[in-house]
Structure 1
Amino acid sequence: MTDCSSPAPVKPVRRGRAGSWVVAIAAAYLAALWYIDRERNILAQLSNLNGTLALCAGLVLVSYAFRYQRWRSALSAQGLRLQGWRLGALAYLAGFAFTASPGKAGELLRIRYFGWQGVPAGATLATFIFERALDLLVITVLAIGAAHMIPAFGVLATIILGVLLILGLLACWPPLARGAHRLIEYLPGSPVRRLGHFLIAGTRALDPLLCWRLLLRSALQGGAAWLLTALAFTLLCQAMGISLPWLC
């Protein structure tokens, strides 16, 4: 059985080390960005787009508000209520610093931040899985309008729906989850097995989130968030003179 207790606060020395890593990675990212842009001069054009960038930033911030409200609703469905809106929002937004990680798994650093607010690691993991699953569904639905432009869209949609079905079965059908736990015992390496058990336990914790009212409300919030992000991207492309054929 996995340990879902709240993690202990990070020691100051480790905070300093983590800060150094963040600075180093940010510097490497900015250097790579400058190198790629050295002949295109796209970054130099941004100074002429202050109004558009401000509008795009506002739209994205509103989209984050929708996402965070969905996150709070998922925690509330698990019997967890954050003490304040601001601290929870900061913990949620901090996770986006690692959103470029594969599968956005880096956002699970929120386990640490929400742990300081009394949210068990398992609840944060379950909420993360719930959020990612709904985003997959929302993006698939929004992409239907451009399905003819996406190669093998039907195959991709089938895979996504299959993943969502497996998540739902793991959450609602205990024998399947127990079988998954037994299979994980055959994996090599205890760290891999611990991670596998932790993920299955997080999926099992989805059960209280699978009610139609919460699913519908959360899907609408996710849809609003993604539409606002798409609108911001479209406005930025238009301001930079990048034509989007589907708008013509």
Structure 2
Amino acid sequence: SSDYYDDLKLDNSILKAQTDSYRRIRNTFRYLIGNLNGFEENEKLPLDDFPELEKYILHRLWEINQTVEECVNTFNFHLMFTTLLNFCSNDLSAFYFDIRKDTIYCDSFQSTKRRASRTLLDLIFNHLVRWLAPSLAFTCEEAWQARGHTSSIHLEDFIPAKKEYQSTDLQKKWDMIKNVRKVITGALEKKRAEKIIGSSLEAHIKVYVSDEIKKIIAKIHLDEIAITSSYV
């Protein structure tokens, strides 16, 4: 998306950046559609039964919804698109999808964690496909119909995010956990570049944090969040 408040520029590097942005969104839809294959209403899990990670992403969905509503009301469609792009890239692809892919692929169909994840993916899809439809008309139409719909996505209204999605306490906690994960991921990349490890699952990590942070991460499975074999 280009900022149309300024003169629009065009060269090969800009086209490449736009192509990359589109690919990220398209890959997000591909992940959602693929991992929602066979999803039925009776598989849905009540939001109260969601694990903390899913509740955190729900909060992010609520935050994105607030931004989208403000952008629509003020006609700031550039900010709306970049917000959605960053959500797809940072919150979903680089974080949530990465953590939960093994759960979706390997856990039993009746697993609470798997059901929660697929329920959340369904919610994300239904919001995202509506939000992006004005910008990516054909892609969103194809994504919508890939879920079995026969009507057009362009006849659908935006879905307001429910107030119960909001959780400021979880946001503070999981923003901190994301920062810890970012440091771990950076360290793993160095070891991968040095050919010491291949997959991150080959790593056993030692985490040095303050006592306050240690109390928080002690209550979660940091090895699952960081996608490593274990940690101390």
Q: TM-score, normalised by structure 2?
A: 0.30
Larger-gyration structure (1/2): 1
Q: Using CA pairs under 8 Å that are at least 6 residues apart, name the structure with larger relative contact order, 1 or 2.
A: 1
Structure (1/2) with the larger helix percentage: 1
Q: TM-score, normalised by structure 1?
A: 0.28
